[in-house]
């Protein structure tokens, strides 16, 4: 089993003397992406940003249907489907490997598609399946591991014939260069059967198993950790609870240590996966949550030393079954969300890589509510502010003295040591004055140091002077669940994306107001906007007429708009 933390610490120690090589410590799920688009993404984004691997959708031939879940109804182990053919898959694996990015295949090995128990392309016949068809009682171990899961034909994985067919499929993928596997629905396969299948595999692929634990159930993730890593669903539940505002995020300071959790070295963590973001949206952080919650939850996951984190990158959906957009994902528009490209998320991948050999929390601070900060042993420091006002204070970072790029507010350019965002100065005592805007954060690490250039800053925009701007939208009558937002042509105003607009306060209803810090002397175009709080694409009403315009100047501004 791959013990990630220990491997990363060893790798960092091994290379620290002779090179600047950094371990890769986080991966991404490019859900329903096509093979050619993934190859390009590895070369142009994932490799340069430091992602370790991509989890790809199941590549085997499945039922012909548009729903996303059709990929989890295999009819054979041939490499073909809507993501591309076998040659394109092999090319993707090779191109990603050349970019330093591994491929993890989502392997459906518990079952075959619903329907008759006959799959001539494998071949599987009726005798290769269990014969329990009823609804599963999850308090009954035998039923969980021998009955059809939501009508999908359950393979008799205790049979050597079935184990060999599964192993042949996985070995074929390994021969194509695949580096690892996610075992879908592993909870529904006895751990001894998985051990027997694993014993037939060639090489030493990385494996993580989908095992959803629940209190009182007989099957728990801890049974499977001796074989390989497991998915830690407690992590996604806890992070979602607190980042949805159902409790102060300072409670997360002990995450991973609570009873029943998988040890960090055995855990794959995620803010959301392709299942729970659709099936349990109300209790799972997704892009549908406003106030920058999805991004900041990922910042927390990538900054906190627990588990092997997986970034979820999906597409827009309006119902549970909706399949992916018909066109490719590489352009990241018209439905494709590409959360992994969000600068704060992508830049935190480098943060995790550069702090891997300090896999611990130091210099922890919180305000007793929704503002937290922590260090990583002098290699990095993170601040998260999920309250409705800006946070500025002096932090003891534990970092060496220097000028650092805030990778949440901008991108770091390693070639000339420049920064497009804010610069954070750490003094000789490790102290730094850090500002984290509301529903936002700040982060620095030793891989993003800005040179002084003989007294002239090398950053392209540092430090950025801000001015408080108080927006007002009148006549903002709304229905229950709908609110008024400000939206505009600045990043702080959502760049005209309703999902990223800034919610205003309704204390003077139907006039809504809110104060936002914008860059000084900047021409701003903006409008008032109504939308649903939970689903940004619903209930959308734009302020009529031309865009409102003003310049922020150097003192506080008070722009007004009206529906």
Q: Which active-site residues does the annotation give?
A: 184, 210
Record the tokens describing residue 185, joined without a space.
Answer: 């629905």
Query: Distance from first CA to last CA of the chain, Å, rounded?
Result: 59
Report the DSSP pairing between strands 180-183 and 102-107: parallel
Which among 558, 549, 491, 500 is positioned nearest to 529, based on CA atoms?
500
d(CA 558, CA 526): 13
d(CA 81, CA 90): 14
Facing residues of 231 across strands? 268
Q: What is the DSSP string of 110-164?
A: SEE-SSSS-BTTTTB-GGGB--B-S---TT-HHHHHHB-BTTBEEB-TTSHHHHH
Report the DSSP pairing between strands 362-366 and 308-313: unpaired
Facing residues of 530 across strands? 484, 541
d(CA 108, CA 181): 10
d(CA 30, CA 38): 8
Grouping H, G, I as helix, E, B as strand and the rest as coil, residue 487 is strand
Range 1-4 contact pairs with CB under 8 angstroms and sequence separation of 24 or more = 1/207, 1/225, 1/226, 1/227, 1/228, 1/229, 1/266, 2/206, 2/228, 2/229, 3/265, 3/266, 4/229, 4/265, 4/307, 4/308
Facing residues of 28 across strands? 54, 311
Grouping H, G, I as helix, E, B as strand and the rest as coil, residue 348 is helix
d(CA 422, CA 406): 5
Is 511:468 a contact under the CB 8 Å cutoff?
no
Report the DSSP pairing between strands 380-385 and 412-413: unpaired
| Phi, psi of 97, rounded to the nearest 5 degrees | -60, -40
> ∠295-300-306 over CA atoms, to 5°?
140
> ∠60-313-220 over CA atoms, to 5°?
70
d(CA 461, CA 418): 9
Q: Please state the three-class secondary structure of 26-61 as a single string.
A: CEEEECCCCHHHHHHHHHHHHHHHCCCEEEECCCEE
Grouping H, G, I as helix, E, B as strand and the rest as coil, residue 180 is strand
Is 299:347 a contact under the CB 8 Å cutoff?
no
């Amino acid at each position: 089993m791959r013990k990630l933390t220990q491997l990363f610490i060893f790798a960092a120690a091994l290379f620290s003397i002779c090179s600047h090589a950094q371990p890769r410590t986080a991966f991404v799920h490019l859900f329903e992406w096509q093979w050619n688009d993934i190859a390009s993404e590895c070369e142009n984004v994932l490799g340069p940003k430091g992602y370790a691997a991509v989890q790809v959708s199941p590549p085997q031939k499945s039922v012909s249907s548009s729903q996303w879940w059709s990929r989890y109804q295999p009819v054979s182990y041939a490499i073909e489907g809507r993501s591309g053919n076998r040659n394109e898959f092999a090319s993707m694996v090779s191109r990603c490997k050349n970019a330093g990015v591994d491929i993890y295949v989502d392997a459906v090995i518990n079952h075959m598609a619903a329907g008759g128990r006959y799959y001539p392309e494998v071949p599987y016949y009726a005798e290769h399946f269990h014969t329990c068809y009823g609804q599963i009682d999850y308090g009954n171990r035998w039923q969980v591991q021998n009955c059809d899961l939501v009508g999908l034909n359950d393979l008799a994985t205790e049979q050597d014939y079935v184990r060999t067919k599964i192993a042949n499929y996985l070995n074929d993928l390994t021969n194509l260069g695949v580096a690892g596997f996610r075992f879908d629905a592993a909870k529904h396969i006895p751990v001894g059967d998985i051990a027997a299948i694993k014993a037939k595999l060639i090489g030493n692929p990385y494996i993580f198993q989908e095992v959803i634990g629940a209190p009182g159930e007989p099957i728990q993730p801890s049974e499977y950790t001796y074989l390989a890593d497991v998915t830690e669903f407690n992590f996604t539940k806890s992070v979602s609870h607190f980042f949805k505002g159902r409790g102060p995020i300072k409670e997360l300071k002990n995450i991973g240590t609570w009873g029943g959790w998988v040890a960090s070295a055995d855990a794959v963590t995620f803010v959301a996966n392709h299942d729970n973001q659709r099936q349990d949206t109300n209790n799972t952080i997704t892009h549908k949550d406003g106030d920058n919650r999805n991004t900041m939850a990922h910042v927390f996951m990538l900054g906190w030393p627990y588990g092997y984190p997986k970034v979820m990158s999906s597409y827009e959906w309006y119902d549970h079954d909706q399949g992916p957009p018909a066109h490719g994902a590489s352009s990241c528009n018209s439905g494709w969300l590409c959360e992994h490209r969000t600068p704060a998320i992508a830049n935190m991948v480098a943060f995790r890589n550069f702090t891997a050999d300090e896999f611990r929390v130091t210099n922890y601070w919180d305000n007793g509510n929704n503002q937290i900060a922590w260090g990583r042993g002098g290699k990095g420091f993170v601040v998260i502010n999920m309250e409705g006002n800006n946070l500025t204070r002096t932090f003891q970072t534990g970092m060496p003295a220097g000028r650092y790029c805030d990778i949440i507010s901008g991108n770091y350019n390693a070639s000339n040591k420049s920064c497009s965002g804010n610069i954070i100065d750490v003094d000789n005592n490790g102290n730094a004055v850090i500002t984290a805007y509301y529903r936002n954060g700040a982060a620095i690490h030793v891989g993003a140091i800005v040179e002084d250039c003989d007294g002239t800053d090398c950053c392209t925009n540092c430090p950025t002077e801000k001015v408080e701007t108080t927006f007002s939208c009148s006549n903002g009558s709304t229905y229950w669940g709908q609110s008024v937002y400000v939206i505009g042509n600045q990043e702080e105003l959502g760049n005209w994306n309703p999902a990223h607009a800034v919610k205003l306060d309704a204390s003077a209803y139907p006039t809504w107001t809110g104060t936002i810090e914008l860059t000084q002397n900047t021409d701003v175009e903006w409008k008032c906007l109504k939308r649903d709080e939970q689903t940004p694409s619903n209930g959308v009403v734009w302020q009529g007429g031309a865009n409102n315009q003003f310049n922020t100047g150097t003192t506080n501004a008070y722009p007004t708009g009206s529906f």
